[in-house]
Amino acid sequence: MELYKTNQLKIYNSLSKSKEVFKPIVEGNVGMYVCGPTVYSNVHLGNVRTFMSFDMIFRYLKHLGYKVRYVRNITDAGHLTDDDAEDKISTKARLEKIEPMEVVQRYTIDFHNTLQNINNLPPSIEPTATGHIVEQIEIIKDILAKGMAYEVNGSVYFDVLKYNETENYGILSGRKIEDSIENTRALDGQSEKKNPQDFALWKKADERHIMRWPSPWSDGFPGWHLECSAMSTKYLGSEFDIHGGGMDLKFPHHECEIAQSKVKNGVNPVHYWMHANMLILNGEKMSKSTGNYILPNEIFSGENNILSKPFSPSVTRFFMLQANYRSILDFTNAGIEASEKGYIKLEEAVNNLDNIAVSNKSSIDVKGWKQKCYDAMNDDFNTPILIANLFEAVKFVNLLLVKKETITAIDLKELKSTLKAFFYDVLGLKNEIQQDSSDKLTGVIELLIQMRKEARDNKNWSLSDQIRDELLALGIQLKDGKEGTTFSVN
């Protein structure tokens, strides 16, 4: 269904700092790029919130009928985030005395497993920085040829002040170049740059730097900002619809992306810039140095000193979706406990949809309720308002079950399809009650199989046959083999 034709979606554009009606470059198609992780440690909860927010956006765009190409990169190159910053991948490799790519592999697997647990859909394309060194070198050549970069001692820098003579470096963040000149502090190695604001496109590797590649200028490595320009351009074109990432990437990372791409391709690369806000823990910034942090798997297992008990991935996801993706979210024990209670109520309502009796008239306005759900999501993916509307449906379901409200077959079908679509497809939640029920059923069957085995060992053939026959009558067939007894449900 091409629901996008009847739904006017508005997106908050960080570039214009306002909500704008979404009009893709090619009707019915969306190109979306999201900055992925630097894989040198376990993915933390704040990162998970960002990727989950864009997963929700990806899901809703698909739900509306758009064909979405979602590109999310893996930063596996040992870049420097600034002139004085360390190469975190190489540092980790030296500490653990392993190859940098072993670090990359370990934490890429952790990243994928964590996002799979939280029920994120995989992106359409997941390119790596090291897989696109050639493309990055070609961009540097082009920027040099256009006079917007310069080479010094084997390193290449983007000339920010020259770029700013005709363009606006600061168009996204709102920063003025004059202010950055006044506030710039001295950095190691800055003496070889023309201006303190200039950023590296290519860095010559010193003897200690493990990850390096040959280039026309030196054996070295690309600047951090360059990889996203290279990969977004390659897979989405010189102009594309949506670029997303965390709020902390707005400056300098995304600002530099705009400058590089504008010089390379002559156009502003992105039509809608989107930024997800940060997650804090118990009112304070998450930080490993202070111990105020928690990993996603520690939430799911309960192995932490912050929460009262384990919470499932779906409850954790539901908690985060109860805040708008652009707002700061405080992760607390009380908050996630309250979310769990609400999640169970919503889940029970979804499971009870098939138990509702139909009538010849409806006393509830299903179409009006459905429109409110779409209105919420069309208002910059406002999941808190959507969830409030879903709880209104919970009231409908509970009143319908006790026959205090009535509903026609047509309206019930619409209620079912809409509630399930937003619960499963858009919000990406899982029905854990059904999973628990299935696990309990398996446990009961296995207990009966054990009882049957004991009966057979004791030559109590009548009890053994009775267990087998009664399970078969329920559609559960036992199969005896050399490795023991297995079962199948018909």
Domain chopping of the chain, boundaries: 3-276, 280-433, 437-489
- Give which of 411, 409, 413, 376 is closest to 391, Cα–Cα: 376
Per-residue tens of pLDDT for the chain, all 490 residues:
799 999 999 999 999 999 999 999 999 999 999 999 999 889 989 999 999 999 999 999 999 999 999 999 999 986 655 444 467 888 888 888 888 889 999 999 999 999 999 999 999 999 999 999 999 999 999 999 999 999 999 999 999 999 999 999 999 999 988 765 544 444 444 578 999 999 999 999 988 788 899 999 999 999 989 999 999 999 999 999 999 999 999 999 999 999 999 999 999 999 999 999 999 999 998 877 777 889 999 999 999 999 999 999 999 999 999 999 999 999 999 999 999 999 999 999 999 999 999 999 999 999 999 999 999 999 999 999 999 999 999 999 999 999 999 999 999 999 999 999 999 999 999 998 755 555 556 777 878 888 888 888 888 988 888 888 888 877 788 888 776 887 776 6
What phi, psi does 155 have (nearest 5°)? -110, 150
Residue with tokens 């993916």: 381
Q: Cα dist. 79→87, 130, 235, 310 in Å? A: 6, 10, 22, 37
Q: Which two tokens stand for residue 114?
A: 């964590």
Residue with tokens 């619809």: 241
Strand partners, 125: 71
Task: Quickly name the fold that domain 280-433 has.
Answer: Isoleucyl-tRNA Synthetase; Domain 1 (1.10.730)
Q: Which two tokens stand for residue 164?
A: 């700013």
Residue 286 to residue 292: CA distance in whole angstroms: 5
Residue 128 to residue 392: CA distance in whole angstroms: 44
Q: Which two tokens stand for residue 180?
A: 């950055």
| Total Cβ atoms within 10 A of residue 33 | 29
- Quote the pTM value: 0.86
The tally of CA atoms less than 13 A away on the side-chain side of residue 51 is 26
Is 3.40.50.1100 the CATH classification of the domain at 3-276?
Answer: no
* Positive or negative torsion for Cα 443, 448, 451, 456: negative
